[in-house]
Amino acid sequence: MKLKSLCEEIATIDSVDDIKAFKQLVSQSYEWLESAFTLQPIDELVTGRAIFIDTLLQRLWTLYGLANERGLALCAVGGYGRGHLQLYSDIDLLIVSKKTLKRDVQEKVGQFITMLWDIKLDVGQSVRTIKETVKLAKDDISIATNLVESRMLSGCDQTFVDMWHAVNEKDTCWTSKAFFAAKYEEQKARHAKFNGTSYNLEPNIKENPGCLRDIQSIGWVAKKHFKEYDGKGLVGHGYFTQDELDELVECRMSLWRLRFALHLVAGRSENRLLFDYQPDVAAMMGYGDDSKTAVEIMMRAFFRTVRRVSELNQMLLQRFRYDMLNQTIQSRKTINDDFCLLDGNISPTHNNVFESPEDILRFLKTIADNPHVQGLDTNCIRQLRNARRRFQSAYYVERAECRQLIIELFKHPHFFDFAWDIMHQYGILQAYLPEWDHIVGMMQFDLFHAYTVDEHTHRLVKHVNHYFQPHNTQFPRCGRIVRNFDKPELIYIAAIFHDIAKGRNGDHSTLGAKDVAIFCEAHDIEKSDADLIAWLVENHLLMSVVAQRRDIYDPDV
């Protein structure tokens, strides 16, 4: 039985005493949603559940005699207000009135809410006057955000309009400027909780950087500023191209489907894709029955999705920051013919700065040469993303000038300060090295790692770079040792390659040593240096093996 048929059945129930009939329809809706997961587009499931809940709430509101109460409105807020409900997502409601409710109306509202609990709906509700709603929204950005996405379900239209206008259009509550500033800081704080990375092995599909919250943040800010938001307004106002909007929608669909499957497997509302859930979720998503292989394929697709979301989110919020905060560029510095520095962000001076793979590597050198670069501006991200697509099949390592440039970068005293992060974040290294592409988003099924193979290596290289800094006080002995080394690039190359052969058949240390030997030969690295790098890669597990598995008090050890 489809949801449409269930909605039609709701209309035939004419008494609030028929709890059994309502409960049965709720149960049947879950059964249909579960059975339809592999058959129906995910957007039809999340919007379909919202429509079913709309119909159910509206019928109960009417049966309790609340639909005709003057000055009283039933509103959907939050995710439910957007018209989207995952399988076990909370149903957030606001019951708003012009004045304090009379006792008899309060009793009806209480009975209505109790009924929702009785029929096993997970409801979060607030009962407030317009005045109380506005006051709370002024003081709490979370409440204000929920109300940005509010919509009318049943009751007095004018009450809803007055509330929505007071919260979303009057400057006495949150101006779009103040709202954006608060949401921007909120996102930064949320990202910091996850150490600023999307590449956690047990990601939170809702809260992680690059996940659903980052997509929702775009919608919240746009809806507050433009008053209505279907995505097309962002294209019309020049914030996104149509291709970028389509990409964002595609990413949202992927994350929706993953979250829906997670709810199915967990049997409840759950956003953490824990190890225990991953094999069953992967099987449900159609990645196959071989649990480890299926999980790896699923998670690599997930990590690629969140990288795309992060890039689009960064592009848009940066534009919003200037437009909505009415900021003008405070500092402009010309770097060269291709780039300038705008308030700390590197920006192209024309639309053809990435005409070849060599241009992209030279761009990284420009960042390394200019320690004041703090980030990429929107235009730079857009051009870099487009160039990445054009050159994705042309591995840079096959080009002589690229090979020369990469070694120059590894030798650069400031490359690993920030340019290395850009190389990793925007997929440049995986375009350069086919072997690196293999480990991007690769899971590690052990208790020793918290991140994917590529993110683990990225962070290792950052730690090595920290040892070389004169201000390093955390590991002074390491600092003294490495600063006496006259070829730091050899250590960096070894670090980059130490886990590059993971996931292949065989000992990854031995295979990685062979890979780095080939790399060194292709890049004209001296034989003695190449042998040292290969030795480091092949023996990088020696210390942990000795420390964890050998008796260090044994003279032979």
State residue 331's pLDDT score: 83
For residues 11 and 124, membership in a common domain is answered with: yes
Last residue within a domain, chosen from 291, 324, 357: 324
More confident of the two residues 482 and 205: 205
Is 64 in the same domain as 19?
A: yes
Res 508 pLDDT > 60: yes
Are 50 and 108 part of one and the same domain? Answer: yes
pLDDT tens digits, residue range 261-286?
999 999 999 999 999 999 999 999 99
Q: Is 319 contained in some domain? A: yes
Report in angstroms the alpha-carbon separations of 378 from 185, 280, 326, 384: 19, 39, 17, 10
How high is the pLDDT of residue 417?
Answer: 96
Mean pLDDT is lowest, of 100-104, 226-230, 298-302, 412-416, for 226-230
Q: What is the mean pLDDT of the segment spanning 70-76?
A: 97
Clarify whether residues 226 and 166 are in a common domain: no
474/538 same-domain check:
yes
In the prediction, which pLDDT does 394 show? 63
Q: Does residue 423 belong to any structural domain of this protein? A: no
The reply to whether 95 and 224 lie within a common domain is no
Number of domains in the chain: 3
Residues 198 and 306 reside in one and the same domain: yes
Split at pLDDT 50, 70, 90, the class of 552 is low
Given a cut of 80, is residue 329 above it in pLDDT?
Answer: no
Per-residue pLDDT, averaged over 113-135, amounts to: 96
Give the pLDDT band of residue 484 (cuts 50, 70, 90). confident
| CA–CA dist 308, 252 (Å, integer) | 11
Banded model confidence at residue 555, pLDDT cuts 50, 70, 90: low
Is 378 a member of any domain? no
- Confirm whether 330 is domain-assigned: no
Cα end-to-end span (Å), the chain: 70
Structure confidence by residue, pLDDT tens digits, 454-467: 999 999 999 999 99
**Has residue 401 been placed in a domain?**
no
Residue 72 makes CB contacts below 8 A (sequence gap 6+) with 66, 95, 96, 97, 98, 101, 105, 155, 156, 159
CA distance 223 to 71: 26
The answer to whether 465 and 507 have CB atoms below 8 angstroms apart is no
| More confident site: 291 or 115 | 115
* Global confidence as pTM: 0.91
The arithmetic mean of pLDDT across residues 500-527, rounded, is 95
- Mean pLDDT (the chain) is 92
Shared domain check, 253 and 223: yes
Q: For residue 236, is pLDDT > 70?
A: yes
Tens digits of per-residue pLDDT, 165-193? 999 877 678 888 899 999 999 999 999 99
Distances (CA, A) of 49 to 33, 58, 331: 8, 14, 50
> Would you say residue 60 has pLDDT above 70?
yes
The reply to whether 188 and 74 lie within a common domain is no
Q: Same structural domain for residues 74 and 218?
A: no
Same domain, 296 and 198: yes
| 297 — pLDDT class (breaks 50, 70, 90) | very high
What percent of the chain is modeled with pLDDT above 90?
76
CA dihedral 239, 240, 241, 245 (to 10 degrees): -160
CATH of the domain at 109: 3.30.460.10
Q: Which residue has the higher pLDDT, 231 or 500?
A: 500
Question: Do the Cβ atoms of 219 and 318 come closer than 8 Å?
Answer: no
Does residue 251 surpass a pLDDT of 90?
yes
Domain assignment present for residue 150? The answer is yes
Q: What is the pLDDT of residue 477?
A: 87
**Are 156 and 288 members of one domain?**
no
For residue 233, name the pLDDT band (cuts at 50, 70, 90): confident
Choose between 515 and 394: higher pLDDT: 515
For residue 199, tell me if it sits in a domain.
yes
Range(s) of the domain holding residue 21: 3-174
Among 174, 206, 232, residue at a domain's last position? 174
Residue 70 maps to a domain = yes
Per-residue confidence (pLDDT) for residue 232, from 0 to 100? 82
Does an H or E element contain 502, and which?
A: none
Residue-wise pLDDT tens digits, 34-57: 999 999 999 999 999 999 999 999
Rounded distance, CA 452 to CA 201, Å?
6
- Which of 270, 297, 324 corresponds to the end of one domain? 324
